[in-house]
Amino acid sequence: MDKQIWIGTNWKMTKDLEESISYSKALLNLNRKLKENIQLFIIPSYPFISQVKELVKESTIKVGAQNMHWEDVGAYTGEVSPKMLKDLHIDLVELGHSERRQYYNENDIDINKKVKSALRHNIKPLVCIGENLEEKSFGLSKEVLSSQLKVCLSEVSIDDISKVIIAYEPVWAIGENGIPADEDYVDMVHNYLRDQLINMYGEIGNQVTLLYGGSVNTDNYLKYIELANIDGLFIGRAAWDMESFEEILLTLNDKF
C-alpha cells in the first residue's frame, strides 16, 4: 500500500462565506482525481465550518477548526468548546499555532489541556510546534522543540499518541515575510522529532504523523515531501490559491 500523505491548509482569517464555498467545491472536484493515499484537510474560519463540512461530507476531505477551549462548558466569552465542535462533526482541531502563541499568549500547558480534551471527544489534535528566529540563532531549536513536545503531549497515553498529528512550523519560516527553510535543516529537525517521539512512546512513535509547514510553495514542496520523516505538508498561501494548490496536488498524485 502506498504511504499516506497528509496535505492541508489553515485558512486563518482570509475567506468569507462565498469564497469558502467556492474553494470547497473546487477542492471537492480536485479530490476526485487524487489517489486514496493523499489525505486532504482544510481548516476554515469558525462561522463557515458547518457549510464547508456539509459540502464535503460525502468525500474523504477532512475538516478542522482553528482552535478550541479545553472545557466543555463555561463562562468563557468568545471561546468554542469541543462539544460545540463535535456538533459540527469536525475531524480535527489545530492547536498551538504560533499566531495563537504570539498574539493570544497561549502556552504549552494550556495546549496540553486542549490536546487531552480533543482526544476525550474523539477529535484529532493537530499540534503546531516551532522555534523562533532568536531561539534558532542561539542554537536552541532542539531544546525548544523537545520542551514543546514533552509539555504539549504530557499524559497523552501510548494508546492515543498515534491519533495526534504534529506540525513542525518554524516561526521564522511562516507568514508573509517567512524565510523558506533549507531542506537539510528540515530533515534534521524531523529526524530529531521522530527520535524524540520514539524515546517517549517506543516504536509506536513511528506512527505519529509529522507534517512540515513553513513557506511551503510550488518551488520547494517536492524537496520537503521526499524527506524520510515527513508524512505530509501544512501549506499556507500556496494552498489558498486553487491554481497553485492544484499544481501541487496533481504533481504529488503522479509522484506517489
DSSP string, 135-173: HHHTT-HHHHHHHHHHHHTTT--TTTGGG-EEEE--GGG
Q: Which domain holds residue 199?
A: 5-255
Band (1; pLDDT cuts 50, 70, 90): very low
Give the global pTM.
0.96
Average pLDDT over residues 129-143: 96
Q: Which of 16-25, 170-179, 208-217, 227-236 has the lowest mean pLDDT?
A: 170-179
- 92, burial (CB in 10 Å: exposed 0-12, middle 13-18, buried 19+): buried
pLDDT digits (tens, 9 = 90+) for 215-231: 999 999 999 999 999 99
Is the pLDDT confidence value at 42 over 90? yes
Average pLDDT over residues 194-218: 97
Residues 6+ apart with CB under 8 A from 68: 79, 80, 81, 82, 85, 93, 95, 114, 117, 118, 123
| Structural domain total, the chain | 1
Band (205; pLDDT cuts 50, 70, 90): very high
Contact 84, 65 (CB under 8 A): no
Active-site position among 97, 106, 131, 190? 97
Residue 151 Ramachandran class (φ > 0 left, ψ -120 to 50 alpha, else beta): alpha
Here the CATH number for the domain that contains residue 98 is 3.20.20.70
Let me know if 169 is a catalytic residue: yes
pLDDT digits (tens, 9 = 90+) for 102-114: 999 999 999 999 9
Reference 219, options 241, 242, 236, 244; nearest CA is 244
Q: What percentage of the chain exceeds 90 in pLDDT?
A: 94
Rounded to an integer, what distance in angstroms lies between the CA atom of residue 71 and that of residue 158? 23
Beta-ladder partners of 95: 127
Active-site position among 94, 131, 169, 190? 169
